[in-house]
Amino acid sequence: MKHILLVVCLGTLSWMAQAGEAQPMAQDPQVEARLVAIAEELRCLVCQNESLASSHAELAEDLRREVRKLIREDKTDAQIKTYLVERYGDFVLYKPPLKPLTWPLWFGPFLLLMLAMGGFWRYMRQRRQRIPHHLNASERAQAEQLLKD
Amino acid sequence: MKKFFLPLIAFAALVVFLAVGLKRDPREIPSPLVNKPAPAFSLPTLVGDKPFSPADMQGQVWIFNVWATWCVACREEHPLLVQFSKTQHVPIVGLSYKEIQPSDQANGPLSDEVKLQLARERSLKFLQKAGDPYKLSVMDLDGRVGIDYGVYGVPETYVIDKQGVIRYKRVGPVTPEVLIETILPLIQQLDKPA
């Protein structure tokens, strides 16, 4: 695994060194605008914390080329995303789809928040019951007796 | 006592979660292609003029292995594949993935013919030296077929059944453990006459 990562990183580095920062923009600014809009919501498979729009990895470059081609073919955003999901899985989407498998992902945090709030509420109620505890007459007498001793 | 144990239990649970997370490989992404028909393609082969298409393998279980000479991890798994091809009769088809890298075109883009020729030369040289486990290799110069197969980190290995359905995908080098514990039993099971 380490080797692949190293190769990818070195490859990316050497590629960056050659290509510099500015990539020759494709001819059609409209296509580019749509490409950026779509690619920002997609994950680069190689550098997993980068979007497909910003990644310098070679695979990202290839995938941008494919997306560009699909845009020129007048495919909708949904069709383009489906194209990538069919090949790389839901993982390419930064926003995972809502389905039973991803329910914990979508609703888990709210569930945890509700549990925490419930716990807090119970704790507060117990505390409120405990603090205003006044001594009754016999207890007071007992306490005085203890203090005297 | 409860007060003392509660944080301890919470901490233990956290440790378990982190330990599991540490063991898992973030690069291993479940492939949506498993149990789907292998994407069709037609590509030139390493030797000969006849293009290859997965339909040619219909009726037999085969292994599809994505590799390149620039891929260090591929060299790591290569001896195992060579050994496998000598002892097993299951054919391995190689996919030479993007043999021509951007660094090869630093002095200007190469024509498709030159790319194919260069890629063939390099691959053959490597296979002559290290041994050739492949029944045949196909040349995916621009990585388009790689994209159809969801390739994102070479080497990748697929097991495809008699009906042409992908039954297993591995990202990263095949290790002896994976071969013995997963791939071989799967092949045996798929190879059984129906």
Query: For position B28, what pLDDT does the model report?
Result: 67
- pLDDT at position A138 over 80: yes
A26 Cβ under 8 Å from any chain B Cβ:
no
Contacts of A91 in chain B (CB under 8 A): 29-30
Tokens at residue B129, please?
């030296």
Average pLDDT, rounded, for chain A: 79
Contacts of B154 in chain A (CB under 8 A): 4
What is the third-level CATH fold of B32-191? Glutaredoxin (3.40.30)
Query: For position A115, what pLDDT does the model report?
Result: 95
Greater confidence (A33 vs B3) lies with A33
Give the mean model confidence (pLDDT) for residues B131-148: 91
The answer to whether B53 touches B148, Cβ cutoff 8 Å, is no
> Does an H or E element contain A78, and which?
helix A77-88
Contacts of A7 in chain B (CB under 8 A): 70-73
Q: Which of B34, B41, B152 to mutate to test the interface with A (most CBs of A within 10 A)?
A: B152
Percent share of chain B, pLDDT over 90: 57
pLDDT confidence band for B106 (50 / 70 / 90):
confident
Contacts of B76 in chain A (CB under 8 A): 3
Query: For position B93, what pLDDT does the model report?
Result: 94
Give the mean model confidence (pLDDT) for residues B65-79: 93
Of the candidates B34, B43, B29, B27, the one whose C-alpha atom is nearest the C-alpha of residue B144 is B43
- pLDDT at position A18 over 50: no
CB contact under 8 A, A63 and B147: yes
Query: For position B94, what pLDDT does the model report?
Result: 93
The ranges assigned to domains in chain B are 32-191
Give the mean model confidence (pLDDT) for residues B121-126: 93
* Cα gap B72→B5, rounded to integer Å: 50
Residue A103 to residues A78, A87, A97, A110, Cα–Cα distance (Å): 21, 23, 9, 11
Average pLDDT, rounded, for chain B: 89
Give the mean model confidence (pLDDT) for residues B169-176: 90
CB contact under 8 A, B32 and A59: no
- pLDDT at position A26 over 70: no
B108-119 tens-digit pLDDT? 888 888 888 999
Greater confidence (B98 vs A44) lies with B98
CB contact under 8 A, B30 and A91: yes
- pLDDT at position B163 over 50: yes
A51-98 tens-digit pLDDT? 888 787 888 888 898 898 898 888 888 899 888 888 888 888 888 788
- pLDDT at position B96 over 80: yes
CB contact under 8 A, B30 and A89: yes
The answer to whether B146 touches B92, Cβ cutoff 8 Å, is no
Query: For position B184, what pLDDT does the model report?
Result: 92
Residue B101 to residues A14, A148, B98, B110, B145, Cα–Cα distance (Å): 11, 94, 6, 11, 16
The pTM assigned to this predicted structure is 0.73
- pLDDT at position B132 over 80: yes
